[in-house]
Amino acid sequence: MKPEYRVVVIGGGVVGASVLYHLAKFGWTDICLVERSVLTAGSSWHAAGGFHALNADPNIAGLQSYTINLLSEIEKESGQSVGMHMTGGMTLAGTPDRWDWLQSAYRVFQSIGIDDVHLITPEEVGKRCPVISTHGILGGMFAEREGYVDTTGTVHAYAGAAKKRGAEIIEHNRVLELQQTAEGWNVVTEKGTIRCEHVVNAAGLWAKQVGRMAGIELPVSPLAHHYLLTETIPEIAALEKEMPLVVDLEGFTYMRQDQKGMLLGIYEIDHQHWMMDGAPWNYGIELLQEDPDRIENELRLGFERYPVLQKAGVRNWVNGAFTFSPDGNPLVGPVRGKRGYWCACAVMAGFLQGGGVGKSLAEWMIHGEPEADVFGMDVARYGDFAANRRYIKETTGQFYSRRFIMTYPNEQLPAGRPLKMPGAYSDMTAAGARWGASYGLELPLYFAPSPDFKEKPTLRRSNAFPIVAQECKAVREAVGLLDISGFSRFEVTGPKAENWLNRVMASELPEAGRARLAPMLGKTGKLKGDLTVFNWGAGIWWIMGSYYLREWHMRWFEDQISDGVTVRDISDATTGFALAGPNSRKVLEQLTDGPIADLPFMGCGGFDIGLIRARVGRLSVSGELGYEFHCAAAEHAVLRRSLLDAGAKLGLREIGYNAMLSLRLEKSFGIWSAEFTQGYTPAQTGLDRWIDWKKGDFIGRDAALKERDGGGPAQQIVTLEIEADDADASGYEPVWKDGRRVGFITSGGYGHTLGKSLAMALLDRDCTAEGTRLATHIVGAERPARVIAPSPYDPEGKAMRGA
């Protein structure tokens, strides 16, 4: 062990070994891994070792595919067998909705270029797995590149390949303390102190403690997980070919062959947390006592699905702990305010996701950002609110118990809610608001006409469809009122504020009393935000964006900060409402004596709105004449009441975000995480029209210029009209031209004003011309589509500009 390394990776499981390997592979070899016991001691040694194609986040599914490809490479490179069994795998559906969902998932795989996945009939299920009962099965999805590995061998393969590239592994050396220094970190271990620039928390079951060593409360918790191993089963021993993995979603089980017997794993409804503050330091190559009574119902379903189990002896029970995050995805990336501290933890499917996690983190550390859009596993998707113990327990438990339970796109899950509520929450609830949640904050989705109304979970248009239609109608014909607490607000001040904003924003900055749309780029020219910059005058600037990106954006701002600039997140202290519709100005004129009629489009200023001194901006996401009002959180309820009273005779109606999403589609307005992501460039998305090419240097300028002057991007965002029936596009559906995949849908929905199913899609440039005939799949069914001109509602923007 040397006294100094560039990187110290803490944790010798599959994730830590993968991070070490990828750092070495990409050229950083002055690195070491420190393990308190031996490699694999923790969760890795007792993991079932399966790898699957399916993930709800297509970007993470892509990284899982990378991991599967990598396994044979590290085997060759290290000389260590990973015990690869490429058996293929089946995911089964036992209800009509689940079958619809699997058909949709199959199309998503096509969208992201994974072509070795196929839909199969119940008869094919039975042929591929002769010991299964196909009773109740409607169909399945078969993935060719699924299977399982020897978990211990795989960890040693990553580690061996890393050592061959110059990395060092230090076992039997527990980390005792972390000390942040001006140069990086002191890692205090049982064998001495190591100085390093970067430290990686890949500590698995001990991630909570290693986080606390740096003053970080990570939203992670271990939960106990069962699987059983049978003795030899004659029917399996007689098979000429190894059985595929099987995931029985309605039965809460997964199965694979184990030698001449079977491994049956269970995600039980009655979950059990274990050591929420982290495992004991002396825990390692051990298991928890099995508890068959707690999993009795799921066991019964498993024994019914595989009747051979009813005669088989159980050779061994495995009840081990794995670490989960609130949404089940990993926590990866740099931690804000802790320069050089990196997370690579909560990877509950380490042998499936470990390769992708290691690759992305190594790229991030070395190059400044990962190649893929990894927001779905970025530690910055959570803020301080998620460190609460009860929140962690409720959300991780909910994820575990719902691991194989289908969640509908319009379904709202209860764990950890309500947490943060807008000031007028109670009043809006009384008015019929039905709530969703974003970054811990409750947001109104729509306003139900009756207290008894309940929205039915569905993959298709729900029974809330006509309610949303009426809200859209109110905006187009009169005026709608929307709670805008769910936007982030950052205040930028200081003598160098304007210079700093000019560097981090690619757009021209607005003059005092104006606002401007502002794309923000990373160093490679890809997007870091679709933001709005307000210049309130007197040296006060605001940046507004998506509420759920608060931690992510604040980390970026702090990484780029310079002397003479202060950036404050005021999102919870400042909230507000927005009016949109032809009558919105008439509502305002009843509440203010100020020159509100003179406020130009994209203008901003301070106005008295009733009793409240508010900051007002004239802009709209709906495409109608609109205004946004920003007030103190304590004034939120009063502002709402004032606006409702003033609009009572002008047709004012409260609306939710479901209506706003429909209205913005009719204007071809993109949103973050759909049309705009850190995986796309401004030219792909149309945000390049807001770039100020004439101003001096800004972050990402060289890369953006190279794209502009090099012929432009290969794909671009367009608007589609789809001949849909009772369901609309939601995102990641493939788009076809004459049987050739030419792109995918980024988001979709129903345009209630136009009476059409609409979508936005990222397509090959030769398919983007208006009128191009295409096809897509909505809930698995093929539907005709065509490219239409952007902004199908009011294309000249006269309503929005008040013209």
Provide the pLDDT confidence category of residue 802 given band limits of 50, 70 and 90: confident
The tokens for 103 are 């058909």
Cβ contact 745:776 at 8 Å? yes
Confidence of residue 9 (pLDDT cuts 50, 70, 90): very high
The whole-number pLDDT of residue 594 equals 76
Asked if residue 40 has pLDDT above 80, the reply is: yes
Cβ atoms of residues 669 and 621 within 8 Å:
yes
Q: In this predicted model, what pLDDT tens digit does every residue of 376-403 receive, in sequence order?
A: 999 999 999 999 999 999 999 999 999 9
- The pair of three-digit structure tokens given for residue 272, joined into one six-digit string: 């059990």
Q: What pLDDT score was predicted for residue 803? A: 59
Supply the pTM of this predicted model: 0.96
d(CA 358, CA 344): 8
Question: CB–CB of 371/365 below 8 Å?
Answer: no
Dmax over CA atoms of the chain, in Å, equals 87
In angstroms, the CA 19 to CA 355 distance is 8
pLDDT band at 113; cut points 50, 70, 90 = confident
What's the rounded Cα separation, in Å, for the pair 459 and 102?
Answer: 11
Q: Average pLDDT for residues 628-644, to the nearest whole number?
A: 98
Q: Identify the band that residue 58 occupies on the pLDDT scale cut at 50, 70 and 90.
A: confident
**Count of all residues that appear for the chain in the document:** 803
Nearest CA among 203, 207, 201, 200 for reference residue 221: 207
**Domains of the chain by start residue, with CATH:** 4-333+336-375 (3.50.50.60), 671-799 (2.40.30.110)
* Residue 168 · residue 33 · CB < 8 Å: yes
Q: What are phi and psi of 406, to 5 degrees?
A: -70, 130
125, 294 Cβ separation under 8 angstroms? no
Q: What are the contacts of 685-694 at 24+ separation with CB within 8 A? A: 685/527, 685/716, 685/717, 686/716, 686/717, 687/519, 687/527, 687/530, 688/519, 690/506, 690/507, 690/516, 690/517, 690/518, 690/519, 691/506, 691/507, 691/519, 692/506, 692/507, 692/508
Residue 85 DSSP label: B
Mark 128-143 as b/e (b = at least 16 C-beta within 10 Å).
bbebbebeebbbbbbb
Nearest of 793, 686, 689, 785 to residue 743 by alpha carbon: 785
Q: Report how far residue 226's alpha carbon sits from residue 364's, in angstroms, rounded to the nearest whole number.
A: 35
Q: How far is CA 409 from the centre of its chain?
A: 14
Question: Residues 634-653: what's their mean pLDDT?
Answer: 98
Report the distance separating Cα 649 and Cα 652, nearest Å.
7
Contact 162, 24 (CB under 8 A): yes
Give me the pLDDT at residue 24, please: 98
710-743 pLDDT per residue, tens: 989 999 999 999 999 999 999 999 999 999 999 9
Q: How far apart are CA 562 and CA 549, in angstroms?
A: 22
Question: Can you say whether the dihedral through the CA atoms of 771, 772, 777, 781 is positive or negative?
Answer: positive
CA distance 45 to 283: 13
Q: What distance in Å separates the CA atoms of residue 319 and residue 265, rounded to the nearest whole number?
A: 10
Q: Give the model confidence (pLDDT) of 768-798 as tens digits.
A: 999 999 999 999 899 999 999 999 999 999 9
Mean pLDDT of the region 565-584: 98
**Residue 53: pLDDT above 80?**
no
